[in-house]
Amino acid sequence: MAALIAASAASAVEFLLLVAIPAFFFFFFFFGSGGWKRRQVLLPPVVGTIFHQFLNLQRLHDYHTELSRLHKNYRLLSPFGRQLYTADPAVVEYILKTNFNNYGKCYLLNTLNRLPFFMAALIAASAASAVEFLLLVAIPAFFFFFFGSGGWKRRQVLLPPVVGTIFHQFLNLQRLHDYHTELSRLHKNYRLLSPLGRQLYTADPAVVEYILKTNFNNYGKLREPQQELLMKSTMDSTFKIAFGFELDCSGGSNQDGVEFAKAFDKANEFTLLRYVNVFWRITRLLGVGSEAALKQNLKVIDEFVYKVMDIRFKQIVNAHQEKGDDILSKFLEEIKHPQTTMDTRYLRDIILNFVIAGKDTTAGSLAWFFYLICKDPSVQEKIHQEVKRVVLLETKECTDFVEFSRNINDESLNNLHYLHASLTETLRLFPVVPLENKVCFSDDILPGGYNVSKGDIVFFQPYAMGRMEYLWGEDAESFRPERWLDDDGIFQPESPFKFAGPRICLGREFAYRQMKTFAAVLLYFFQFKLSDEEKIVRYKTMTTLQIDQGLYLQASSR
């Protein structure tokens, strides 16, 4: 019965997403909203609706890559205005360079300007009911049957009682610890069903003593993936260089810093959900779901950033404290001038921009870089030999990390051409920001003759463009650093409009230096391989491209 209910719910949701809503869009856009006028101008073909993105959320960028192979330019129907997607370098160059004054930042889904609010609220309420049904009835019922398939075996061993599923934690996200406290009053030990493995919860001192003392060798921390270590390291270096502040995410001594880093990543993840959840304003108004969690994470971020600013400001006004050379100190000096237009909120935004540029760019790219060179050990060996030749000038061996690091300077970094090509090839296949957008400020015509109206959103896709054969050849999806080198092995950059655009981050060179330094030190001393060669690595759908579930590596000394 539970399986039947779950199947019925799934069918209803699938019908809603695949048939009813697209059909509504078709009639709304082409018959109810001046669609007959639109047919008089040249527009890219319609290949779906924004709801199809929801169905492909876990593989969003591959979904757009598939569409881009069929059409360089296309549209997805949306109730919030016209949305154009492009993988055409000519269009990217046009909106980012040729006519860049007409295209700017887009505050996505800013208004419900196409769909009456009552319709949006009605659909949102229906969707909320469907989601609530799935979380409270259908999915738990599925878990019951799924995990019960081998129940006759499990009944032969003693297990704590099942009191719910991990999805019930989601419903109690804002009061998670109180939720577990209530369960612990009923059961000292209990379980929540999960498709990720058995999860036991305890509030029994005897059990805690057993796993932490009596038999502690049999219990340990969940392994931390190398991607997370890279994230922490780059976060630390960014705060030290840019703000003169010891964050110590890697060591964990600064608990506020650790909480800030966690909140920062969660806020990044929840922000992208607005891209596929067209009713995010309603959930924000109601203070539920991901919007409630986002608000809480932003609060943690703000409190920490303002705390850092306050500490640095007090250090600067102290007459005995030397003025810092970090970026934040320079801005704080500026804010003391009576005629300055800067305020603390502006400085907060500057800090967060630097964190995004310094952390996600470097750590995320390094994680993909190590994944790719582990899949191709020959590239890893070539980089090792180049580092040995360039940094040490082949005059000696070095066994000390500090001594080796002292040999890394501007000249040696600039001469690591193969390493630079390998990092650039990584960014081609796994760009930091896989999908970007600009809003059109006034009516325009794009290269190819496509009409763009004021308020239209134009998405350009670095992830998809990096995989287009018409741009990179038949081996477009292959990791081949040599494509960036000339016959003499010197790095040769391609047109930025193929995969990024000229409006690159101001800290681009700093990010490259940071990545090359990390990679040079690690690859000189160690050889890396994947902990699980058979595991398929996927990305996490976020505003920045990160490896889902982390990256696990094994390192051996050279």
Q: CA 535, 231, 542, 428 torsion: positive or negative?
A: negative
Q: Which amino acid is at 389?
A: R
User: Is 505 known to sit in a ligand binding site?
Assistant: yes
CB 103 within 8 A of CB 114: no
CA nearest neighbour of 467 among 456, 457, 459, 478: 478
Rounded CA gap, 430 and 345, in Å?
32
Q: Can you state the angle between helices 417-429 and 377-391, rounded to 10 degrees?
A: 140
Rounded CA gap, 236 and 231, in Å?
9
CB 65 within 8 A of CB 470: no
**Residue 290 host element (H or E):** helix 289-317
Half-sphere exposure for 192 (CA within 13 Å, toward CB): 15
Q: Report the relative pairing of strands 553-557 and 526-530 from DSSP bridges.
A: antiparallel
- Exposure string over 224-253, b if 16+ CB within 10 A, otherwise e: ebbbbbbbbbbbbbbbebbbbbebbbbeee
- Ordered alpha helix ranges (H), 376-465: 377-391, 401-406, 410-414, 417-429, 462-465
Rounded CA gap, 10 and 22, in Å?
17
Rounded CA gap, 209 and 189, in Å?
14
CA nearest neighbour of 266 among 298, 235, 239, 244: 298
CA nearest neighbour of 356 among 460, 238, 515: 238
Rounded CA gap, 13 and 336, in Å?
57
Q: What are 543's two structure tokens? A: 């505003």
- Classify 49 in phi/psi space as left (phi over 0), alpha (psi -120 to 50) or beta: beta
3-state helix, strand, coil in the chain (%, to 5): 60, 10, 30
The residues facing 190 across adjacent strands are 201
Rounded CA gap, 298 and 294, in Å?
6
CB 332 within 8 A of CB 343: no
Q: Which amino acid is at 234?
A: T
The residues facing 77 across adjacent strands are 49
Q: Which residues are annotated as a binding site?
A: 505
Q: Which residues are annotated as a binding site for heme?
A: 505
